[in-house]
Chain A
Amino acid sequence: MHNRAQSVARITTPLRAWAQRLGVTFLLLCALGLTIVSRSDQGTIQQARIVVTDAVAPILAAISSPIATVEEAVNAVSELSHLRAENVALRADNARLAGWYQQAETLKAENLVLRRMLNVPDQTEFRYVTAQVIADVRGPFLHSVVVQAGQADGARIGLPALGEQGLAGRVAQVGERASRVLLITDINSRIPVLVGSGRERAILAGDNSPFPRLEFGSQDVAFMPGDRVVTSGHGGLFPRGLAIGTVESLDDKGARVRPSVDWSHMEYLRLLQRQPLSFEQLGAAADASPLVGQAVTLSAAASR
């Protein structure tokens, strides 16, 4: 009996090792095939990504909440020390902004009248979905985040995602519960922009560094560090005039931009939905508060 068991083992052990090696080789080939397929065919792979992200979204949301709470507690303690100074600064800011607000209201009314006179058709009002950032997949190879807002919440592919201070990215994938936002620093991000008071047209191209590059069509362009960079609206993906950042540095290849969005405090992103409105609606919006409230927040973000 014992001998028989031994001889069985003598046959099965190499067989098992052989099967194992075959399995590894098969899976390795599968992985190689997947790599090649996923580079060219984005449809099925994107679908799979969305399904996985959607499935994991509740876990990510559960994990990110305590992290946010701890971070807020740490911030609260550290902010206590400069509460007075901040209060003084905020008062000054408030007084200044109140003046700007009056001016903005006057200009807005004037703008509306002028647009109506010129019959400019491209008038849009914005609504937005505020979505919590539940995953941060900013790695060495890509810069994107996952937000907790899906199809049902109104998230759509291509919507601009705004942080508190400016444009953070655009929605690249939409699932049922969660969506992936491609950040402006990602190597796949290219946004038509206007630079400085000269409104020079350029493309803001991410390269996975913290400071995306500006690519100009022509060579002789006049701009300086500190010039504002806003979306141009060309290509129709983004509305015109969303704040992105300022020119950080110049070199012989072009320029680099410092995004104004605060990456370290990006707890929520606003996904901007565009809705064309008629002049009648716009006129009504000027009186009704909720829409105006949203529009003012947007222009405040855009003018910073």
Chain B
Amino acid sequence: MDDSGFWNRLDLLARSLFPFVASALLIIIGFAPLRAPEIAPALPLFGMAAVYYWCVFRPDLMPHWAIFLLGLFSDLLGGTLVGSSILAFFALYLAISSQRRFFAHASFFLLWLAFALFALPAFFIMWSLACWNAGAIITPAPSALQYVLTVAVYPMIAWFFGQSQQAILQSGGRG
């Protein structure tokens, strides 16, 4: 057990926590007050885009417990029914893990398209659970808008994570 080995491992651990921490930060940023309801009555769900990105590119760094914690965090902070974001994130996770072969070779555009496709059931889960919780049908329009916004911000999030993946994860000795 030499000293450099320990520090190396600590460094590696910190780097491998990056996807989780960055996703949690994105969830927090999603709740920052923009005070512009006339521009965006609903903000995109950054957390969902983040979970999708890491599940596709580094599933080893976005294990199921991390997805559970991120969903729980999002629900507790956002005030939504606890469990609804967890289930929505898991829907995304399961969809991706069932199509591993497709994701291994997909181009950016295809990945974006797949996100638009897979996020749909995830949003539907959140909406139906919110309706169940409220005991009434909630107007689906804001939810639909949030879905569109979330799909629209995906390229930005993917770009940001792509850059940081190169800077933080690959310089850590793991590809």
Contact = CB atoms under 8 A, between A and B. Distances in A.
Given A48-B76, A140-B146, A208-B142, A35 B81 contact: yes
Contacts of A89: none
What class of interface size applies to chain B in its complex with A?
A: 35 or more
Contacts of A139: 42-43, 78, 80, 142, 146
B33 A32 contact: no
A31 B76 contact: no
Given A28-B90, A31-B71, A209-B139, A142 B79 contact: yes
B78 A263 contact: no
Contact of A35 (B78, B87, B136): B87
A213 to B, nearest CB: 12
Query: Which of B29, B33, B73, B93 has the most chain A CB within a 10 Å cutoff?
Result: B33
Interface stretch (B108-116, B123-131, B164-172): B123-131
Contacts of B90: 24, 27-28, 31
18 contacts: A31-B86, A34-B82, A45-B76, A49-B76, A49-B77, A63-B29, A135-B33, A137-B77, A139-B43, A139-B142, A139-B146, A140-B127, A141-B127, A141-B130, A141-B138, A209-B139, A210-B37, A264-B37
Which 4 A/B pairs are nearest by Cβ-Cβ distance? A35-B83, A140-B142, A136-B33, A38-B82
Given A138-B42, A139-B43, 17 more contacts: A23-B64, A31-B71, A31-B86, A37-B82, A59-B28, A60-B31, A63-B28, A63-B32, A64-B33, A67-B32, A67-B34, A133-B33, A138-B41, A140-B42, A141-B143, A187-B134, A188-B134
Interface of A: 20, 23-24, 27-28, 30-39, 45, 48-49, 52-53, 56, 59-60, 63-64, 67, 71, 133-142, 144-146, 180, 187-188, 207-210, 263-267
Interface of B: 25, 28-29, 31-38, 41-43, 64-65, 67-68, 71-73, 76-84, 86-87, 90, 93-94, 126-127, 129-130, 132-134, 136, 138-140, 142-143, 145-146
